[in-house]
Amino acid sequence: MFQVPTIADLNLGLTLPALSLALGACVLLLLDLFVPRERKEITAWLAMAGIAVSFVLNLAGFNESGTAFLGTFAADQFTGFLNIVILITAFLGVLLSLDYLKRAKIERGEYYVLLLLSAAGMMFMSSANDLIVVFIALELLSIPLYIMATFRAPDLKSEESGMKYFILGAFAGAFFVYGAALVYGATGTTNLPEIFAAVNGIIAAGGSQMFLLLMGTGLILVGLGFKVAVVPFHMWTPDVYEGAPTPVTAFMSVGAKAGGFAGLLRIMVVALPVFVLKDGQTAAAWQQTFWLVAAATLILGNIVAIAQTNVKRMLAYSSIAHAGYIMMAVAAAGTAGVANEATRAALLYLMAYMFTNLGAFGIALAIEKDDGSDTGVDNFIGLAKSKPALAAMMTVFMLSLTGIPLTGGFVGKWFVFKSALDAGLVPLAIIGVLTSVISAFYYVRIIVNMYLKDGEGDPAAGATRYVNWAIYVAFAGTLLMGIFPWIATNLSDTVVLAVEMFVR
Amino acid sequence: MAVLNEWAFIGVFFAVAWVFPFAPIFLARLVAPRKPNPIKQSTYECGVETVGDTWVQFKVQYYIYGLIFLVFDVEMIFLFPWAVAYRELDFFAFAAGFLFIFLLADALIYAWRKDALEWV
Amino acid sequence: MENLPQLVPLVVFIPLVGMIINLLWGARLGEQWAGWIGSGAAILSFLVSFLLLTYLTGSNYQSVVVNPPFLDGWLSIGSINLEIPWQQRVDTLSVTMMLVVTGVGSLIHIYAIGYMHGDERFPRFFAFLNMFLVFMLILVTGNNFLMMFVGWEGVGLCSYLLIGFWFDKAKGVGWKNSLAARKAMILNRIGDFGMLMGIFLIFWTFGTLDYYKPGEIANVEYQEHLVAQLTGEHGEAAAPAEGEHGATTTEGEAAAPAAEGEHTEAPVAEGEHGEAAAPAAEGEHAVGPAIPEYVNNDHIATDQLGVFGKAQRMLEDGAEVNFGVVSLPIETVLVLITLFLLLGATGKSAQIPLFVWLPDAMAGPTPVSALIHAATMVTAGVYMMVRSNVLYHNAETTSLVVALIGATTALAAGYIAIGQWDIKRVLAYSTISQLGFMVAAVGIGAYGAAMFHLVTHAFFKALLFLGSGSVIHGVEHGHHDVSHGHDHHHDHDFDPQDMRNMGGLRNKMPITFLTYLVGTLALAGIWPFAGFWSKDEILADAWLSNTAGGYVVLAMLVIAAAFTAFYMWRQIEMVFFGKPRTEAAEHAHESTPAMLWPLVILAFFALLAGFYNVPANAGPFTIFGFFEWLFGGAHSFTVFLEPSVAYAHAGEFQGGIAAVALILALGAILLARRVYGDNKSVTADNTDPLYVNPATRQIWSLANARLYWDETYNRLLEQPFNAIGNFLAHTLDWTFWHDYVHEKVVGRGFNALGDLLSSPVDLGIIDGIVNGLGRLVSWLAGGLRRIQTGYVRTYAITLLLGVVLVIIILLLPMLQSGS
């Protein structure tokens, strides 16, 4: 019999970081109504204050773990770590947007509200402990992004970008729901730990239940794989990234990926790590598929990126490629005993990617003209002369994206490759290394443009105060992670997502 | 019935689901007269002859009107049972209902302030 | 060397790669590359087949079953106990077929480079040819009936695609080509129905589709003989000689040391089996026996046997097969199975009653006719029956039917060929006739002879078709040259395949002529060309069968052989001798080397291929044993087949029959020379001399009308079918039901009401108001643009494909493991 829960059952304390952000967004929506039109930066500051509050709450509760909302919401170090990534992303996103929106004459208070809501969705995703919560979080993080992508309206490119993202996103979301329904059909529950408990029975029973669970897993991969833009669900990425306003692109390139991978890791590592075809196997049934998806993503993303002449498009393909590296870690999590290590690797990669990518987008935004033009790779020519500091930081970001030591990108790649090797996915690791080498082509091309090609330096009109701040933060983060990786690894080492499996 | 387990019911359901659309078509074929003329063959849409392109833009006010109506409609559906059972509910349900009303009010105030309720 | 059988997947895989390359990038590669990639794939495949042959000769013809990588557990559904592994079989029969398919295939590929030059779909043609090779090789190398069926359907598809390859030719020709392709498809579907029924029955009866399981011995007699011989050679002390003998005698299926332990159904075990059979493992064992461990299959449990082994055991036990309602003795079931399979064979191998598609199939490009509709695909039916020789041997009723069908077909088609004008049509009927010889051979139990004729026929018929292609090509070019000089309008009527438009090509195309002559003599069965030996073996076996049926068959075949010589010589006279009858023939010139070389090579084989199965004690025919000595013994080919075809036995040579057949053939040639020679092959009013002569007019007209076969089908089947359809559609449905019941009874009242409502009320009043409003809205919206979402559709489709892909990859391991 269903017992009406009491407030105490909900464990609201654990949900405070996410909840405060969501409620903060709702309140901000009202407060914004009373902010005069020409002083919208007040809304931005309020948004940042909300993010800061959530950040503090998150740090305070970092080591507390447990479940809330009747087991549908889990708070643990995984949540804590990802929330740090998400909140920093949101914070830098606001910073990057402040002047950009003014320049582009699209400043509206709703923008920040939407950004906060989306960030809240990502945070819910990082603590989702139930397929339904995963779905709600997925929608909560997506829908504001659809709107934000069209924020440059009536600019046609921006509208097209948002429309495409919306239609395809809805399409992919439907697959996720279908997958969740199939998993429910196989296991009789949507709760992730309960699914975990039911899996062993399904392995023993085989047959149609196994079939349902496999189908469900595949469709869940589709829904979340779309969000994180892995091949073959990546087609929307370049168009959307190019058309959306640059700060939105920056925010979604990191945030949506963090959210998507949070959901994917939650489901795969918490619910399905022991899901094998036959007793005694050490590799999960879904590992091969993830492996192939990761490999395809790495190869396609990195190779197509070479051909791009628009920085935003190039970074879009680069972000596809990076999704491949993180996917590699998720695939590694399918091997018995490697799940936690692989989860940590994915988290570290996300953090490094967050700093680096936001920095790179920040600089792309800085050289962009007011009307959204001048985002070509060639616009970097002569930047070293006109803005040496920006050029130097861009160099670091590019090196970090390539994965050169002493940058955050290297640390992330190191752990991801290591987890892949530990999981026995040697060919995948080799593909990873080779594609990293390939990626140097297009990253280094930007460095070459800045330093070695003659030309008029770009005035980088967009490099205003707040944008610079954001870039500095990203720069500092990238270097910090590269030179003192243990700060991040100490934090990530506390993450224990999977039930350690020694017996299968 | 032991033979008809739950899967078999799905099968039966499936079969019936197929019969339903086809039976009327078949019946219609059987009894319907077939004598086409231009009026019959014109596209039938609510009795209105279509003019021009079907892809026309509607005034966005219709849309907002629809949305607001939906908001209150949904609110009714949720709040009515809540209000009826209000006395038996404990604090949790009260809080949940309150949160719901808060979110709706939030949206309403926003829409109001944005002059969405004004008919232009 | 000993691991060579493991190469057999390559035989299929190489053409597959060739096909994929040509399909994907053919257009970009250009003619030269596309052609040579296609041909190269065929040649490589041939080389691999040749390696397999060297393996077999070096290992006492021990057959091997190979599990290609990635495909094990191909069709395993645990819940219903269905276990059909994707296994390929290397034995003397399959290697023979592989050599014929890839060997003749390679030559035809090369020829096609020249023949198809300039065709706009050149790369696709080669892609289809390679695809054909893929399926044909699946058909012949498969170790079970399902793989055979996969190949069977696949070659049917390729045949369809290639017959209709020129579906877009102008002036209605393309339409005719499409119809021909459709006809082939439909008639083959009838055959496939029989094939499927046969396979279902086999599965029901034996619970498996595998010919032989790995480790099973196909021909026990041969194995006993071999073991006795080896033991004799080595004595008891023939201890593990680790060296040459150990290697050559112990591998193969019978040698598998792990046989007892591993006769489980799991495909994995079979994989190990294959490895264990390798001599490397043998060497390590060191104590292994130097001779095959088993001489028969008695050590294998009945339910571990393949179809044929099980059939034999069931026959020994006098088992009954339960069909739920009735139980039938195994003999009856075998008759049923073989009859169904026979129906399949009559479709694919163009026998009565399903042969009518093959002449029309000549609409395809000539290399296709040579490869698919003469040398290889149409022999699939014969191959299938030879492969199933255990079943046919034990089903006497069917055998009689088979023999009669084959002989009748041989006779009827040979007769029809006399009355044809189209150079390729003559060859088509000739092919049907020769296939009839093979089928008849199967019917009288001469499986070895059937295969022998299949091989020799592949050579000389491919040669003849390619030669005819060369002739057509030459005449067409001649015509082209002429019509460039003159007006263009007589283009419409000119048919470069009509023999009436030829004549005197002997001097214009000398190499084509010589090779064609060799092919003709071989086909006519003139000593010492290949056809003589193979045809004679069939005739001899018919005599030796010593039954009334056998004698009837013999008589029919001998007459058919005489027809063969007659129509072939008629063709030679019409095409090559005499004076050119058209300007096109006057201006014809020899083809390119790419087309001539295959002709020369095939001519060489058409001459020599027969010697590899010369009979013993044939007196003057083998120059008193000289040929035997020269070509390494009598009946080498039959001996070669014996290990894999249990009932392949070599009949004794029948000098009298050979002499009679030879004399008849020579007589027929002389007769043809008399009728058609000396430049009177076509009469002044453009018809056949036989038609002019009142004594033979009826005979020739009947042949010319193809025995009214197509018309009979048309009248008996098509027209009644159409009539019933028309009656139902027009009279019953439309006239009565619609016109009368609806119009008169229901319609009138309804109309009166409807007219009132629709015209004045609806159109006049309501629409007027609404339309005005609509115009206002569309005027308001006029300038605004829609959001362009053109590419989203593509993205969504890609996403969907991704979904399908992901699901397939996820589910594959589950389906394979059969859980």
* Residues in chain B within 8 Å Cβ distance of A26: 102-103, 106
Q: Which residues contact A330 (CB under 8 A, 6 or more apart)?
A: A261, A264, A265, A268, A290, A294, A342, A346
Of B93, B103, B106, the CB nearest to A4: B93
Kindly state whether B84 is in contact with chain C, defined as any CB-CB distance less than 8 angstroms. no
Query: Does the pLDDT at position C290 exceed 70?
Result: no
Give the residue on C whose Cα is nearest the Cα of A164.
C792
Cβ C460 vs Cβ C519: under 8 Å: yes
Residue with tokens 């279902």: C200
Is residue B97 in some structural domain?
yes
Give the residue on A whose Cα is nearest the Cα of B99.
A23
CA pair distance A264, A271, nearest whole angstrom: 10
- The pLDDT of residue C267: 40
Confidence (pTM): 0.55
- The pLDDT of residue A84: 95
- The pLDDT of residue C684: 76
Q: What distances in angstroms separate CA A118 from CA A92, A128, A137, A144, C507, one per listed residue?
A: 14, 15, 9, 6, 87
CA pair distance A297, A261, nearest whole angstrom: 15
- The pLDDT of residue C485: 57
Average the pLDDT over C333-360 and give the result.
91
The distance of A7 to chain B (nearest Cα, Å) reads 5
Kindly state whether B55 is in contact with chain C, defined as any CB-CB distance less than 8 angstroms. yes
pLDDT digits (tens, 9 = 90+) for A193-202: 999 989 988 8
CA pair distance C126, C108, nearest whole angstrom: 11
Query: Does the pLDDT at position C489 exceed 60?
Result: no
pLDDT category, C640, cuts 50, 70, 90? confident
Is residue B72 in some structural domain?
yes
Tokens of B16: 């019936």
CA pair distance C604, C614, nearest whole angstrom: 17
Average the pLDDT over C278-289 and give the result.
39
DSSP C432-479: HHHHHHHHHHHHTT-HHHHHHHHHHHHHHHHHHHHHHHHHHHHHHHHH
Kindly state whether B70 is in contact with chain A, defined as any CB-CB distance less than 8 angstroms. no
Do B110 and A4 lie within an 8 Å CB cutoff? no
- The pLDDT of residue C61: 86
pLDDT category, C24, cuts 50, 70, 90? confident
Q: How many CB pairs under 8 A join A and B?
A: 24
Which spans in C686-737 are helix H?
A: 689-692, 694-704, 709-713, 719-726
Cβ C268 vs Cβ C274: under 8 Å: no
Kindly state whether A278 is in contact with chain C, defined as any CB-CB distance less than 8 angstroms. yes
CA pair distance A261, A329, nearest whole angstrom: 10
Do A215 and C810 lie within an 8 Å CB cutoff? yes
Of B35, B39, B52, the CB nearest to C743: B35
Is residue B22 in some structural domain?
no
Q: What distances in angstroms separate CA A392 from CA A388, A401, C296, one per listed residue?
A: 6, 14, 82
Facing residues of C66 across strands? Answer: C88
pLDDT digits (tens, 9 = 90+) for C554-590: 999 999 999 999 999 999 999 999 888 888 888 888 8
Kindly state whether B4 is in contact with chain A, defined as any CB-CB distance less than 8 angstroms. no
Average the pLDDT over A133-153 and give the result.
93
Interface of C with A in 74-133 (CB under 8 A): 79
Of C787, C798, C805, the CB nearest to A235: C798
Average the pLDDT over C287-305 and give the result.
73
pLDDT category, C767, cuts 50, 70, 90? low
- The pLDDT of residue A27: 92
CA pair distance C233, A100, nearest whole angstrom: 95
CA pair distance C664, C669, nearest whole angstrom: 9
- The pLDDT of residue C424: 93
Among residues C735, C642, C725, C671, the alpha carbon closest in space to that of C226 is found at C642
Among residues C421, C416, C420, C417, the alpha carbon closest in space to that of C501 is found at C421
Kindly state whether B103 is in contact with chain A, defined as any CB-CB distance less than 8 angstroms. yes
Average the pLDDT over A360-385 and give the result.
87
Give the residue on B whose Cα is nearest the Cα of A113.
B110
The distance of A291 to chain C (nearest Cα, Å) reads 11
Do C738 and B31 lie within an 8 Å CB cutoff? no
Do C770 and B48 lie within an 8 Å CB cutoff? yes
Average the pLDDT over C52-73 and give the result.
82
- The pLDDT of residue A483: 87
Residues of chain B predicted below pLDDT 70: 1-6, 43-51, 54, 58, 60-61, 119-120
* Residues in chain B within 8 Å Cβ distance of A10: 92
Is residue B66 in some structural domain?
yes
Of B92, B102, B109, the CB nearest to A5: B92
Interface of C with A in 785-804 (CB under 8 A): 787-789, 791-792, 794-796, 798-799, 801-803
Query: Does the pLDDT at position C761 exceed 70?
Result: no
Give the residue on C whose Cα is nearest the Cα of A158.
C787
Query: Does the pLDDT at position C269 exceed 60?
Result: no
C-beta neighbour count of A109 within 10 angstroms? 23
* Residues in chain C within 8 Å Cβ distance of A293: 806
* Residues in chain C within 8 Å Cβ distance of B53: 778
CA pair distance C465, A313, nearest whole angstrom: 58
Average pLDDT, chain C: 81
Is residue B4 in some structural domain?
no
* Residues in chain C within 8 Å Cβ distance of B56: 777-778, 781
Query: Does the pLDDT at position C48 exceed 80?
Result: yes
Average the pLDDT over A354-381 and give the result.
89
Kindly state whether C814 is in contact with chain A, defined as any CB-CB distance less than 8 angstroms. yes
* Length, in residues, of chain B: 120
Do B52 and C774 lie within an 8 Å CB cutoff? yes
Kindly state whether B39 is in contact with chain C, defined as any CB-CB distance less than 8 angstroms. yes
Among residues C420, C360, C429, C367, the alpha carbon closest in space to that of C176 is found at C360
Of A160, A235, A285, the CB nearest to C813: A285
Kindly state whether C795 is in contact with chain B, defined as any CB-CB distance less than 8 angstroms. no
Average the pLDDT over A27-37 and give the result.
90
Tokens of A484: 């003192």
Among A257-261, C154-158, C727-731, the minimum mean pLDDT is found in C727-731
pLDDT category, C238, cuts 50, 70, 90? very low
Residue with tokens 């990588």: C69
pLDDT digits (tens, 9 = 90+) for A381-440: 888 888 889 999 999 999 999 998 889 999 999 999 999 998 989 899 999 998 998 888
Among A248-257, A427-436, C360-369, C761-770, the minimum mean pLDDT is found in C761-770
Neighbors of chain A by Cβ distance (3+ pairs < 8 Å): B, C
Do A6 and B109 lie within an 8 Å CB cutoff? no
Residue with tokens 């020789």: C389
Tokens of C755: 């007219």
Among residues C116, C141, C145, the alpha carbon closest in space to that of C129 is found at C116
Do B35 and C771 lie within an 8 Å CB cutoff? no
Do C758 and B39 lie within an 8 Å CB cutoff? yes
CA pair distance A335, A431, nearest whole angstrom: 19
What crossing angle do the helices spanning A408-422 and A485-493 adopt, rounded to 10°? 40
- The pLDDT of residue A484: 86
- The pLDDT of residue C747: 65
Residue C51 or C720, more confident:
C51
- The pLDDT of residue C778: 47
pLDDT digits (tens, 9 = 90+) for A154-177: 888 888 889 889 989 999 999 999
* Residues in chain B within 8 Å Cβ distance of C770: 48-49
Do A277 and C814 lie within an 8 Å CB cutoff? yes
- The pLDDT of residue C585: 86
Of C746, C751, C771, the CB nearest to B49: C771
- The pLDDT of residue C132: 94
The distance of C784 to chain A (nearest Cα, Å) reads 12
DSSP C596-643: HHHHHHHHHHHHHGGGGGPPSS-GGGGTTTHHHHHTTSTTHHHHHHTT
- The pLDDT of residue C620: 79
- Per-residue exposure over A472-481, b if at least 16 CB sit within 10 Å of its own CB, e if not: ebbbebbbeb
Tell me whether strands A66-68 and A73-75 are parallel, antiparallel or unpaired: antiparallel
Do B92 and A33 lie within an 8 Å CB cutoff? no
- The pLDDT of residue A130: 94
The distance of B37 to chain C (nearest Cα, Å) reads 11
- The pLDDT of residue B120: 60
C-beta neighbour count of C500 within 10 angstroms? 18
pLDDT category, C486, cuts 50, 70, 90? low
Among residues A215, A276, A243, the alpha carbon closest in space to that of A152 is found at A243
- Look up the domain containing B87 and give its range: 60-113
The distance of A386 to chain C (nearest Cα, Å) reads 39
Cβ A410 vs Cβ A482: under 8 Å: yes
Helix (H, G, I), strand (E, B) or coil at A60: helix
Give the number of C-alpha atoms closer than 13 A to the C-alpha of residue C434, restricted to the C-beta side: 38
Among A83-92, A290-299, C58-67, the minimum mean pLDDT is found in C58-67
The distance of B110 to chain A (nearest Cα, Å) reads 6
Kindly state whether B90 is in contact with chain A, defined as any CB-CB distance less than 8 angstroms. yes
- The pLDDT of residue C260: 39
Query: Does the pLDDT at position C488 exceed 60?
Result: no
CA-CA-CA-CA torsion sign (C515, C517, C520, C521): negative
- The pLDDT of residue C229: 83
C-beta neighbour count of A377 within 10 angstroms? 17
Residue C386 carries which DSSP code?
H
Helix (H, G, I), strand (E, B) or coil at C804: helix
- The pLDDT of residue C75: 67
- The pLDDT of residue C62: 85
Contacts of C130-133 with CB under 8 Å at 24 or more apart are C130/C15, C130/C16, C130/C18, C130/C19, C130/C22, C130/C38, C130/C41, C130/C42, C131/C15, C131/C19, C131/C158, C132/C158, C132/C159, C132/C162, C132/C371, C132/C372, C132/C377, C133/C15, C133/C41, C133/C42, C133/C45, C133/C101, C133/C102, C133/C105
Query: Does the pLDDT at position C106 exceed 80?
Result: yes
Cβ A219 vs Cβ A181: under 8 Å: no
Query: Does the pLDDT at position C243 exceed 70?
Result: no
CA pair distance C436, C378, nearest whole angstrom: 11
Maximum CA pair distance of chain C? 113
Do A6 and B93 lie within an 8 Å CB cutoff? no
Do B47 and C766 lie within an 8 Å CB cutoff? yes
* Residues in chain A within 8 Å Cβ distance of B102: 26
* Residues in chain A within 8 Å Cβ distance of C819: 206-207, 210, 277-278
The total number of structural domains that make up chain B: 1
pLDDT digits (tens, 9 = 90+) for C589-610: 888 888 899 999 999 999 888 8
Average pLDDT, chain A: 90
CA pair distance C590, C606, nearest whole angstrom: 21
Kindly state whether C233 is in contact with chain B, defined as any CB-CB distance less than 8 angstroms. no
The distance of B116 to chain C (nearest Cα, Å) reads 22
Do B49 and C767 lie within an 8 Å CB cutoff? yes
Q: What is the CA radius of gyration of chain C?
A: 31
Phi, psi of C89 (to 5 degrees): -115, 125
pLDDT category, C251, cuts 50, 70, 90? very low
CA pair distance A267, C49, nearest whole angstrom: 51
Tokens of A237: 């990425």
Interface of C with B in 745-784 (CB under 8 A): 746-747, 750-751, 758-759, 762-763, 766-767, 770-771, 774-775, 777-778, 781, 784
